[in-house]
Amino acid sequence: MSEDEAVFTPLDFVRYVAENRKASVDTIKVPQRLLITYQRRTYEYGKKLIDGKPVDWWMYGESQPFCIGQFKNVEIGLGRFWVGAPAAVMTLEELIACGAKTVFEVGVSGGLQTFLQPSNIIVVTEAIRDEGTSYHYLLPKVKVESSPRLRSKLIKQLNERKIKHFVGSVWSTDGVYRETRKKFFKFRDTGVLAVNMETSAIFAVAKYRNVEAASAQVVSDVLSETGWLQAFGHQQVRENARILVKAVLEALSETPEFNNV
C-alpha cells in the first residue's frame, strides 16, 4: 500500500452501511445523475418536480435528506447537502461510490461585481480554490472547472427560456468571516463573479474521481467596498432558485450517461 493511499475509502463506508442492513453492497445504489442542493426550499421544490422518494438505506435521515425520482422518464438522485466544503465532499464521495457520475450543484453565492443583483443566476465555469478540502485531492497549481457539456446544456436551457444569467468563475472559501477587503478587491478586479463555500471542492473531487460536475448559483447577497447586502430570504431569490432547479433538471435529463471507464 502506498503511503499516499487512503486508509479507508468511501466504498468501505458503503460496505459498512450494507453490512448494518444485512444487505448486498449492490443494493446500496443511486442514479448516475445527481443534483446537489443546500437550501431546504430548493430541495423540496426539486423533490416535488421529480416526485422523489426517500431511500430506506440513506444514512443521514432528514438532517441531510436524499431522494430518488424521475424527470422526463430519466432517473435522478437529489440531495440536500450540509453547507461547507468538507461536509459536502464527504457526502459526494459516498454517492459517487454508490454510482453517481454526473453531478450538478445548485447553490447560493455572494455577488462580487457591481452589475450583479440579488436573484441573478450564475453558470459557473471555474472555481477558485480558497478552501482547504480540495488540497487533499489535487496539487495547489491544478485548476478546477465545470464540465463543458453539462455547462453548455444548462446555458442552452436558460437561453431557450430567455432566462437572464451570467457565465463565469466563483471563489470558494472556508473563511466566511475572513473575506477580507484585500481578497475582495483581488477577486473582483480579476473578474470573479461571486463567492461561496463548496464549488471548488466539488469540482476537485469530481476531477479526482473522474466524474462530471457542474454548478449554477443564485446570488443571495452582494459584497461591496462599503459592506454586505443580505437578501437570502427575498422572494425573487427563492423564485430564481426554483427556476434554476427546473432548468438543471431539464439539462440533466437531456445529458447522455457519462462513461468514465
Q: Which pLDDT band, with edges at 50, 70 and 90, does 22 fall under?
A: confident
Angle 235-253/148-160 helices, nearest 10 degrees?
Answer: 120
In this prediction, residue 1 carries a pLDDT of 59
Confidence at residue 185, expressed as pLDDT on a 0 to 100 scale: 95
Give yes or no for residue 261 having a pLDDT over 60.
no
**pLDDT tens sequence across 111-164:** 999 999 999 999 999 999 999 999 999 999 999 999 999 999 999 999 999 999
Number of Cβ within 10 Å of residue 205's Cβ equals 26
Name the residue with higher pLDDT: 156 or 26: 156
| pLDDT surpasses 80 at 3 | no
- The rounded Cα 235 to chain-centroid distance in angstroms is 22
Least trusted range by pLDDT, from 185-194, 230-239, 241-250: 230-239
Query: Is pLDDT of 2 > 80?
Result: no
Mean pLDDT of 97-121: 97
Q: Count CB-CB contacts under 10 A for residue 181.
A: 9
Residue type, 233: G
> For the residues 193-220, what does the mean pLDDT come to?
98
Q: What pLDDT band is residue 256 in, cutting at 50, 70 and 90? A: confident
Average pLDDT, the chain: 95
Domains belonging to the chain, first-starting first, are 10-253 (3.40.50.1580)
Q: How confident is the model at residue 260 (pLDDT cuts 50, 70, 90)?
A: low
Query: Which grid cell is 91?
Result: 457526502
Q: What is the pLDDT of residue 227?
A: 87
pLDDT computed for residue 169 by the predictor: 98
On whether the CB atoms of residues 245 and 35 are closer than 8 A, the answer is yes
Residue 68 has pLDDT above 60, yes or no: yes
| Residue of 81, 34, 10, 26 lying closest to 255 (CA atoms) | 34
Q: Identify which has the larger pLDDT, 255 or 104.
A: 104
pLDDT above 80: residue 18: yes
Q: What is the pTM for the complete model shown?
A: 0.95
Take residue 74 and report the three cell numbers written for it.
430519466
Q: d(Cα 253, Cα 114) in Å, to the nearest integer?
A: 34
Instruction: Please compute the mean of the pLDDT values over residues 200-217 and round it to a whole number.
Output: 98
Band (90; pLDDT cuts 50, 70, 90): very high
Q: Are 170 and 125 in contact (CB under 8 A)?
A: no
Q: What are the CA-CA distances from residue 119 to residues 39, 62, 79, 237 (Å)?
A: 14, 27, 22, 4
| Whole-angstrom distance, CA of residue 107 vs CA of residue 199 | 9
C-alpha cell at 148: 463543458
